[in-house]
Amino acid sequence: MLFYIALALLALNVVYAIRALYIWAGSGERVHSVAPSPDAPFVSMIVPARNEERQIEKCLDSLLAQDYPRFEVIVIDDRSEDATHAIVERIAAKDPRVKLVSGVDLPEGWVGKPWAVTQGVKHATGEWLVFTDADTVHRPSATTSAIAYAIKRGLGAVSLLPDQKLVTLPERMLMPGIIWSIAFALGPTDDIHDPTKLENALFNGQYIAIRRDAYEGVGGHEVVKNEIAEDYELALAFKRDGRFPIALVGANGLVRTRMYQSSSEIWEGFSKNFALGVRGKPLLSALGIAFMLCVSPLPEIVAVWGLVSGDYWSMAVCLAAIALTISITELAMMRMRFPRWSSLWAPIGGCYAIAVFVNSLVRHSAGGGVTWRGRTYGPSGAPRR
C-alpha cells in the first residue's frame, strides 16, 4: 500500500514539474536598462507611506537619483505614528521635486492603500503615474526603462516584479517558497499580457506605471477602494475594461525590495491577502491545499515512513519525487532571481505557504478580517477601526 501511495505522489510531482516548466517558459519577459530620452513624458512617482521610518529615506534617495529627465515624487503620509512625516519633510525641504501630502482619515468603505494613493493622484501632474512602495529601492535607470518599455509596446500599464532582498534566515527560508507558490498558482506572466485571458490579471503593487488617461479610464483606485488586494483587483479592472493593454514583467535588478524582516512580518503580511484570489471558491481552495500537500510535506513523510518500515522502494520513489521538485523549483527560482539553491528550502517554504494560505482562508471565511499597519479590516475590506 505504501508503495502505491509513493507512486501517486511521484505522479503528482510530475504534474507539478510540468506546470512549473510551463510557467518558466512563459515568464521570461524582462525590462532592460535604456538611456533616458529628452522628450520623455512627465512622470509623477507616488509613494504611500504609513509607519515607514526604517526605509522611506532609502526609497526616496533612490527615486531622486533617477536619470529620468522630468519627474516629481509625491509622498502620502498615511497618518503615520512614527518619524515618517518628519523624515519626508526634511527631504522635501531640500529638494523641490518632493511633495509631502498629509493624508486624512479613511472615508467609509475605503482601505488604507487605495485611499492613500488616491490622495496622491490629486496632487500629481504627470502624464504617467508610477505607484511604488516605501520598501523599494530603484536603480537610476529604473523609471526610464519602465516607461520606455510601456510606450514601445503601447501599454496602458506595466508592473514590475522587483528583486527580493533576503537578509535573515527566516527570509531566505520562507520568502522564495511563498512567492513561488503565488507564481505557481498564477501561471505564466505571458497570460497576463494576453487580452483574451480576462481572468489572468495581476499587478505587483510594489511597482506599477500607468498612463494617466488609462488610469482615469478604468476609474482609478476608486474602483478597488474596499479591496485589501488592490493591485490584483486593479489589474482585473484593466483586463475586463479591455481598452488598455497591461504587462507584468521582471524588474531585472532595476528595482529591489525587502518586503518583510522577520517570520512574524512574513506571516501577517501574506495572511492579509493570500487567499483572496480564491475567495468564494471552496472546492478550488481544497484542491489547491491538497495538491500543495502532495508536493510537500507528504513525499518527505512517506520517505521517512519507508525508511523506518524497511520499504526502501517506497522511500526511493519519494526521494525521486523530492529531487524532481527541488530541481524544477531551482530552475524557476533562478528565473525569479532568487539566490542560488533557494530551492533547497522549498519543502520548508512550501509547508509555511500552506499554513499561511489556510490561516488567510480561515480569517476571511470566518469574518475575522485582517489587521495591517495598525488598522483592522473586515472580510469585505471595510475598516473596523
The position carrying cell 518628519 is 86
pLDDT value, residue 384: 44
Q: Does domain 43-261 have CATH number 3.90.550.10?
A: yes
Question: Cα–Cα distance between 34 and 171 in angstroms, integer?
Answer: 31
Q: What is the DSSP letter of 377?
A: E
pLDDT value, residue 385: 42
Structure-block grid coordinates of residue 59? 526609497
E strand or H helix that includes residue 342: none
For all residues of the chain together, what is the average pLDDT? Answer: 90
User: Please, which residues have CB within 8 angstroms of residue 265's CB and are 6 or more apart in sequence?
Assistant: none
Q: Domain residues of the chain, as ranges?
A: 2-25+275-377, 43-261
pLDDT value, residue 364: 66
Question: Cα–Cα distance between 53 and 60 in angstroms, integer?
Answer: 12
Structure-block grid coordinates of residue 298? 507528504
Structure-block grid coordinates of residue 367? 469574518
Model's pTM, two decimal places?
0.90
| 176-220: pLDDT as tens digits | 988 998 889 889 999 999 989 988 899 999 999 999 999 999 999
- Amino acid, res. 11: A
Tell me the residue ranges of DSSP E strands in 186-328: 207-211, 246-250, 255-257
Terminal Cα-to-Cα distance of the chain (whole angstroms):
54
pLDDT < 50 stretches in the chain? 384-385
Q: Are 235 and 202 in contact (CB under 8 A)?
A: yes
Question: Cα–Cα distance between 353 and 359 in angstroms, integer?
Answer: 10
Structure-block grid coordinates of residue 197? 485571458
Which sign, positive or negative, has the C-alpha torsion 189, 192, 194, 200? positive
